[in-house]
C-alpha cells in the first residue's frame, strides 16, 4: 500500500477505535443503558475526544510505522498520548453547562483507549508472527542455527529472523549464552541451550550448520576463541556489526555479515578523551591533504564529528576526491566542505590555496607509500614525499598555520627502501621547520600498516581469495604491525593536540603479526568448511622490503603521553645544513639527475642525521636495480 494511503488507513482505524472507546466507556458505566438525557452529550464527548486525540496521536508518531512491529516503547507512547489527551478533554469540559454525567466515565475511557489502540497493534503483531511460525518450523531444507548471545541484540536478531519470508528459511534452535541466570530460560520461544564451552558439542547434537554471533561489543580475543570453536565444530559463522559500525557507519544491529580479519587482529579500543581535540578543531578551518586515501578519508570523517567551521579536502586523484566528497556531504550536510584537486609539490598552487582558504590546522596524509612501486619510481617518491612535504611545511610556516601534523610510517626507521628514506627525510624536514617556528606547531606521527587500507596485504589477500588465486607471502617469517584505520586516526588527532613542536609521536602498534599466519586465518574465515583448496605461495622479499619493521631507531628516547598507546620521541636531531641539502635535492630532481645519485644522497644524508642508521649497502643495491628498471 502506498505510504499516504497506509497513513490514512491508520488514521481512520485509530479514529474508529477512539470513538468506540468513548461509547464503550458510557455503556459500561451505565450498564449498557445510557440515559436519554445524556445521548447528546455522549455524541459531543466522542467528537471532542476525536478532535483532541487524533492530532496528539499523529504528533507523537502513532500514525506512522508498521503495527506488526509494535514494541514496548510504542505502547508507552500510547499511554503518554492518552494521558495528555484526557487532560485536554477534562479542561475542555470544565465549563460544560448541561446535565451532570459521571466523571468516572473519563477514567474508563482512558483505560479503554489504551487497551483498544495497544491491543489492536499487539493483535496484528501476534497474527503476523503466527503466520510466519509454520515457515520457521524445523524442516529438512531449513538452516539449523544457534544465536550466540541471549541479550537484547540476540533477541532482536531472532525477532527479525521470525519476520523473514520463506525465500531464506532459517530454524533458530536456540541461544548460547554464558550467563548462569539465563540457563534454561526461553526468549521468543527459543531456549538457552548452553554456554560457549559447549559450542562444539551443541553443534553436533542439534546438527547446526551456522552460528550467528550477536554480541556487538565482543572483544577481539573472545571473538577469536569463538571463531576457533566454530572452525573446530565445522560450522559456518556470521556476526552482527560492531558497536563502531553501528554508531559511526550507521549499520543495522540485525544485519549479519561475515567475520573479518579486522575483528580478530589488533587491540581492544581505548576510551579517548576527545574534549581537548574538539576544542582545538571546533570552528576552525582544517585542511587534509591526501583526503581521498585510506588515512586521509578517515581523518575527514572523524574531524567532521568535531564540528570544524570548514573542512578542505586536497587530493590529486579526482575520482578518490569525488567519492569521499559525496560520502561526507551526505553524512555532514551542516558543515562547509571544500574540495581541491591539487598537487602538494605545486608551490604556487599551494600558496594560492593558503591565501584563499586560510587553514588553521593541516593534517598532511598525502604520500606515496607502496614500497615496490617507489623502488621503480624513485624520482616520484622523492618529489612527492620529500619535496612536497617540504614545500607544504614551509607554506604552513609562512602563513602562520596553528598546527601541522604529518602522517609518517614505521618504514622510516632504519630504512632499506626509497620510500622509507623519503619518509625519514620528510620527518627531518618537518622537525627542521618546527625548530625555527615560534607560532606553528609541527608534529610527525609514526605508525605501521592500516588494516583494510587500499594496497594493504589484507586487501590483496581478499582479492586473491575472491579470484581463486594463491595467496602470495614474501617469507614465512615476515612480520608487520597492524592497526585499524579508525584507531590510528583517533590517536593521530590526539597527537596533534598533545604533541610538542618538532616532536615525533609514535603509536603503540601492539605485537607484530606474522603474515603467513594472517594468510592462513583469512583462508579459514573465507572458507570455514574447507570446501576449496587455497594455496599460499612464497615469493621472496622484493627490493626495499624488510623481514620485519621497527617503530623507533635504536637510541631514540620515548616518553608516554597523556593518552594510552601514544608516545613521544624525545631525541633531538641537529638539522643544521638540512635546508641546503633539500634545496640541492630539489634542484637535481627538477634537472633529472640519475636515480642512483638520489639514492646515494639519501643514504649519506639520513646517516648523517641518524647515527644508528644502517650502512646503506642494501640501499645501493636497490638504487642500482631501480635505475635499471627506470632506464628499461
Summarised one tens digit per residue, pLDDT across range 589-626 is 887 766 566 667 777 777 766 643 333 333 333 333 33
Residue 117 vs residues 75, 205, 310: alpha-carbon distances, Å: 9, 44, 49
Which residues, in sequence order, are bridge partners of residue 569? 504, 558
The pLDDT score that the predictor gives to residue 619 is 36
In degrees and rounded to multiples of 5, residue 483 shows phi and psi of: -150, 145
The full set of domains in the chain, from first to last, is 3-133 (no CATH), 137-259 (3.40.50.720), 275-448+483-509+570-625 (3.40.50.720)
Provide mean pLDDT across the span 194-198: 91
The pLDDT score that the predictor gives to residue 279 is 93
Coil, strand, or helix at residue 472? strand
The pLDDT score that the predictor gives to residue 165 is 52
Q: Would the pLDDT of 629 be above 80?
A: no
Q: Compute the Cα dihedral for 136, 137, 142, 145 and give only its sign.
A: positive
Burial track 214-244 (b if 16+ CB lie within 10 A, e otherwise): bbbebebeebbebbebbbebebbbbbbbbee
Q: At 394, list the grid cell.
A: 614551509
The pLDDT score that the predictor gives to residue 99 is 56
Asked which of 34-43, 72-81, 323-332, 610-619 is least confident by mean pLDDT, the reply is: 610-619
What span, in angstroms and rounded, lies between the C-alpha atoms of 76 and 58?
15
Q: At 303, list the grid cell.
A: 574531524
Provide mean pLDDT across the span 55-78: 74
Query: Of 312 and 104, which is predicted with more confidence?
Result: 312
How many CA atoms within 13 Å lie on the side-chain side of 240?
24
**How many other CB atoms are found less than 10 A from the CB of residue 585?**
22
The pLDDT score that the predictor gives to residue 12 is 84
What span, in angstroms and rounded, lies between the C-alpha atoms of 296 and 492?
11
The pLDDT score that the predictor gives to residue 620 is 35
Angle at Cα 264 formed by Cα 544 and Cα 301, nearest 5°?
75
Q: What percentage of the chain has pLDDT greater than the value 90?
A: 34
Confirm if 315 and 321 have CB atoms less than 8 A apart. yes
Query: Of 53 and 395, which is predicted with more confidence?
Result: 395
| 405 conformational bin, left if phi > 0, alpha if psi -120 to 50, beta if neither | beta
Which of 352, 353, 425, 432 has the alpha carbon at shortest distance from 393? 432
572 Cβ contact partners less than 8 Å away, ≥ 6 residues apart = none
Summarize the chain as % helix, strand, coil (round to 5).
50, 15, 35
Summarised one tens digit per residue, pLDDT across range 533-552 is 888 999 998 888 888 888 77
In degrees and rounded to multiples of 5, residue 472 shows phi and psi of: -95, 120
Q: Would the pLDDT of 168 be above 50?
A: yes
Asked which of 5-14, 468-477, 610-619 is least confident by mean pLDDT, the reply is: 610-619
In degrees and rounded to multiples of 5, residue 112 shows phi and psi of: -65, -35
Confirm if 483 and 507 have CB atoms less than 8 A apart. yes
Question: How sure is the predictor about 32, in pLDDT bands with cuts at 50, 70 and 90?
Answer: confident
Asked which of 20-34, 319-333, 427-441, 571-585 is least confident by mean pLDDT, the reply is: 571-585
Summarised one tens digit per residue, pLDDT across range 126-158 is 776 655 544 444 454 468 999 999 988 888 888
Q: At 185, list the grid cell.
A: 530460560
What span, in angstroms and rounded, lies between the C-alpha atoms of 463 and 466?
5
Question: How sure is the predictor about 353, in pLDDT bands with cuts at 50, 70 and 90?
Answer: very high
Give this prediction's pTM: 0.72
Q: At 448, list the grid cell.
A: 605501521
Q: At 311, list the grid cell.
A: 573542512
Q: Would the pLDDT of 567 be above 50?
A: yes
226 Cβ contact partners less than 8 Å away, ≥ 6 residues apart = 148, 196, 199, 211, 213, 218, 237
Provide mean pLDDT across the span 548-569: 76
Query: What is the pLDDT of the chain when averaged over all its residues?
Result: 82
Q: Which of 74-83, 385-394, 427-436, 462-471 has the highest mean pLDDT?
A: 385-394
Provide mean pLDDT across the span 46-57: 88
622 Cβ contact partners less than 8 Å away, ≥ 6 residues apart = 375, 416, 417, 418, 543, 544, 599
The pLDDT score that the predictor gives to residue 458 is 87
Amino acid at each position: 500500500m502506498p505510504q499516504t494511503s497506509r497513513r490514512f488507513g491508520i488514521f481512520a482505524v485509530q479514529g474508529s477505535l477512539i470513538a468506540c472507546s468513548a461509547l464503550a466507556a458510557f455503556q459500561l458505566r451505565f450498564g449498557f443503558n445510557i440515559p436519554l438525557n445524556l445521548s447528546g452529550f455522549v455524541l459531543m464527548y466522542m467528537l471532542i475526544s476525536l478532535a483532541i486525540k487524533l492530532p496528539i496521536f499523529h504528533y507523537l508518531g502513532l500514525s506512522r510505522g508498521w503495527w506488526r512491529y509494535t514494541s514496548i516503547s510504542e505502547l508507552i507512547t500510547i499511554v503518554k498520548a492518552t494521558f495528555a489527551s484526557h487532560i485536554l478533554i477534562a479542561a475542555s469540559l470544565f465549563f460544560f453547562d448541561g446535565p451532570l454525567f459521571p466523571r468516572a466515565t473519563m477514567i474508563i475511557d482512558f483505560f479503554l483507549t489504551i487497551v483498544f489502540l495497544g491491543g489492536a497493534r499487539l493483535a496484528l503483531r501476534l497474527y503476523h508472527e503466527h503466520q510466519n511460525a509454520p515457515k520457521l518450523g524445523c524442516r529438512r531444507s531449513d538452516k539449523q542455527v544457534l544465536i550466540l548471545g541471549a541479550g537484547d541484540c540476540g533477541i532482536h536478531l531472532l525477532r527479525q529472523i521470525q519476520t523473514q519470508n520463506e525465500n531464506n528459511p532459517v530454524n533458530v534452535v536456540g541461544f548460547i549464552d554464558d550467563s548462569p541466570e539465563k540457563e534454561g530460560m526461553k526468549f521468543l520461544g527459543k531456549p538457552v541451550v548452553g554456554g560457549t564451552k559447549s559450542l562444539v558439542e551443541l553443534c553436533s547434537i542439534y546438527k547446526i550448520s551456522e552460528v550467528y554471533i550477536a554480541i556487538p561489543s565482543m572483544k577481539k580475543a573472545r571473538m577469536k576463541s569463538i571463531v576457533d570453536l566454530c572452525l573446530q565444530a565445522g560450522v559456518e559463522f556470521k556476526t552482527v556489526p560492531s558497536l563502531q559500525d553501528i554508531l559511526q557507519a550507521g549499520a543495522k544491529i540485525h544485519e549479519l555479515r561475515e567475520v573479518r580479519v579486522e575483528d580478530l587482529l589488533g587491540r581492544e579500543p581505548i576510551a579517548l578523551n576527545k574534549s581537548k581535540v574538539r576544542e582545538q578543531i571546533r570552528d576552525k578551518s582544517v585542511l587534509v591533504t591526501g583526503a581521498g586515501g585510506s588515512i586521509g578519508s578517515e581523518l575527514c570523517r572523524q574531524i567532521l564529528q568535531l564540528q570544524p567551521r570548514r573542512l578542505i579536502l586536497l587530493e590529486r586523484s579526482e575520482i578518490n576526491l569525488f567519492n569521499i566528497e559525496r560520502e561526507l556531504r551526505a553524512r555532514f550536510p551542516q558543515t562547509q566542505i571544500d574540495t581541491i584537486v591539487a598537487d602538494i609539490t605545486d608551490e604556487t598552487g599551494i600558496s594560492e590555496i593558503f591565501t584563499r582558504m586560510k587553514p588553521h590546522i593541516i593534517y598532511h596524509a598525502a604520500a606515496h607509500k607502496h614500497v615496490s612501486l617507489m623502488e621503480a619510481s624513485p624520482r616520484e617518491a622523492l618529489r612527492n614525499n620529500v619535496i612536497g612535504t617540504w614545500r607544504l611545511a614551509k607554506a604552513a610556516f609562512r602563513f602562520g598555520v596553528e598546527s601541522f601534523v604529518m602522517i609518517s610510517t614505521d618504514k622510516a626507521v632504519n630504512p632499506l627502501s626509497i620510500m622509507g628514506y623519503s619518509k625519514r627525510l620528510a620527518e627531518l624536514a618537518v622537525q627542521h621547520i618546527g625548530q625555527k617556528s615560534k607560532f606553528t606547531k609541527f608534529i610527525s606521527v609514526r605508525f605501521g600498516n592500516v588494516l583494510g587500507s587500499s594496497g594493504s596485504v589484507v586487501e590483496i589477500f581478499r582479492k586473491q581469495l575472491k579470484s581463486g588465486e594463491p595467496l602470495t607471502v614474501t617469507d614465512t617469517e615476515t612480520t608487520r604491525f597492524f592497526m585499524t584505520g579508525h584507531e590510528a586516526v583517533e590517536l593521530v588527532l590526539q597527537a596533534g593536540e598533545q604533541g610538542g613542536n618538532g616532536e615525533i609521536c609514535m603509536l603503540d602498534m601492539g605485537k607484530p603479526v606474522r603474515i603467513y599466519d594472517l594468510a592462513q586465518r583469512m583462508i579459514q574465515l573465507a572458507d570455514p568448511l574447507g570446501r576449496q583448496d587455497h594455496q599460499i605461495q612464497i615469493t621472496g622479499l622484493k627490493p626495499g622490503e624488510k623481514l620485519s619493521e621497527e617503530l623507533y631507531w635504536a637510541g631514540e628516547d620515548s616518553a608516554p603521553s597523556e593518552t594510552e598507546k601514544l608516545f613521544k620521541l624525545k631525541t633531538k636531531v641537529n638539522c643544521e645544513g638540512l635546508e641546503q641539502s633539500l634545496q640541492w635535492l630539489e634542484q637535481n630532481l627538477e634537472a633529472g639527475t640519475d636515480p642512483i645519485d638520489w639514492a646515494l644522497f639519501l643514504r649519506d644524508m639520513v646517516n648523517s642525521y641518524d647515527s644508528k642508521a644502517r650502512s646503506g649497502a642494501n640501499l645501493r643495491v636497490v638504487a642500482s636495480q631501480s635505475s635499471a628498471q627506470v632506464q628499461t
